[in-house]
Structure 1
Amino acid sequence: MVREVIVSFLELLTLVSSIALGLLVFLFILKFVFGIKTRLYDGIVHFLQDNYLVLGFIVSLTAMLGSLFYSDVMGYDPCRLCWYQRIFMYPQAFLFLISMKVKNKAIVVNSLVLSVIGGLIALYHYMMQVGVVPEGGCDVVGYSASCSDYFSVSYGFITIPMMAFIAFLILIFLGYGKVRER
Structure 2
Amino acid sequence: MRRRISDYGLYAACFVAIIATAGSLYFSEIARFEPCKLCWLQRIMMYPLVILLGIAAYENNRSIVKYALPFSVIGGCISLWHVLELNVPALAEFTPCTVGIPCNFDYLNWFGFITIPLLALIAFILITALLIIVRKAGDSE
Q: Indicate yes or no: 2:42 matched with 1:75.
A: no
Q: CA deviation at 1:101?
A: 2.8
State the one-letter code of the partner of 2:53.
F
Distance 1:138 1:111, change over 3 A: farther
Per-residue Cα deviation, 1:133-169 (whole angstroms, up to 9, x for no partner):
511334142xx31100000111221100000000000
Q: Distance in 2 between matches of 1:61 and 1:68?
A: 10
1:171 paired residue number:
127
CA contact (8 A) 2:62 2:134 kept: no
CA distance in 1, matches of 2:20, 2:98: 23
1:84 matches 2:41: yes
- Segments of structure 1 that go 5 or more residues without pairing to the other structure are 1-42
Deviation at 1:53, TM superposition (A): 1.6
- Structure 1, residues 118-139: CA drift from partner, whole Å, max 9, x if none? 0000000000001165113341
d(CA) in 2 for partners of 1:138, 1:49 = 41
What TM-score do you get using the length of structure 2 for normalisation? 0.90
The one of the two structures with greater contact order (alpha-carbon pairs below 8 A, sep at least 6) is 2
TM-score of the aligned structures, taking structure 1 as reference length: 0.71
Q: In the alignment, is the contact (CA less than 8 A) between 1:111 and 1:171 conserved in 2?
A: no
Q: How does 1:121-132 map to 2 (within 5 A)?
A: 121-131=78-88
RMSD of aligned residue pairs (Cα, Å): 1.4
User: Matched residues, percent identical?
Assistant: 34
Larger radius of gyration: 1
Contact 2:109 2:115 in 1 (8 A): yes
- Determine which structure has the larger helix proportion and give its number: 2
Which of 146, 149, 152 is the equivalent residue of 2:108? 152
Structure 2: gaps of 5 or more residues: none
> Which residue in 2 is equivalent to 1:110?
67
Could you tell me which residue of structure 2 aligns to residue 119 of structure 1? 76
Matches within 5 A, 1:131-142: 131=88, 133-135=90-92, 136-141=94-99
Partner of 1:23: none
The one-letter amino acid paired with 2:104 is S
Measured in 2, the distance between the counterparts of 1:126 and 1:80 equals 13
